[in-house]
Amino acid sequence: MKKTILTKTFFQWIAAFTLLVSGALWATNGADLTQSPEVSGTPEGSIHMPKQQGRMALNYVNQPPLVPHSVDGYQVSKNTNRCLQCHGVEHYRTTGAPRVSPTHFMDSDGKVLSNVAPRRYFCLQCHVPQTDAAPIVENTFTPSKGFGN
């Protein structure tokens, strides 16, 4: 009985110490990251999210299209998906919005579903709004031949 209590206390101390150290490391790394000369943040208010604009060219094969309008205030949760009010099968003809791709109606086994597949339901995971923000980290990416500008 005494050995069990001693072992339990030992593991509680180890768990507490681990949490303390990992919290300290996380805070230190976060501070260093914000002060790194390689990362330049964008000043508050300098990002422009257009209300509406034309579609941008894709940069690579199977790139999810960018959203050409603001999504501020859009609710996408397990119960509601604001995107489907315009892009859904029932609405796209009346709204003029592009229809959700047929690939979004297939489950992971390739079975066609009557509704958007759960793995494709949260649109804003892949389809991000267009913006004129400067890149946070510079890169040398160039679009594949035949894509982009």
Tell me the per-residue pLDDT of 19-35, one tens digit each, with 9 for 90 and over.
Answer: 665 665 555 544 443 33
Tell me what pLDDT residue 103 has: 92
Nearest CA to 128 out of 40, 69, 44 is that of: 69
67 CB neighbour count, 10 Å cutoff: 19
In three-state secondary structure terms, 112 is strand
DSSP states of 45-100 as a string? T-----SB-PPPPPSSTTPPPPBSB--TT--BSSS-BTTHHHHSTTTHHHH-PPPP
Q: Which residues of 69-88 are buried (b: 16+ CB within 10 A; e: fewer)?
A: eebeebebeeeebebbeebb
Residue-averaged pLDDT of the chain:
75
Rounded to 5 degrees, φ, ψ at 78 are: -65, -20
User: What is the pTM for the complete model shown?
Assistant: 0.56
| Per-residue model confidence as pLDDT tens digits over 61-86 | 888 988 888 888 888 888 899 999 99
Domain at 51-131, CATH from 2.60.40.3500, 1.10.1130.10, 3.40.50.300, 3.40.50.360: 1.10.1130.10
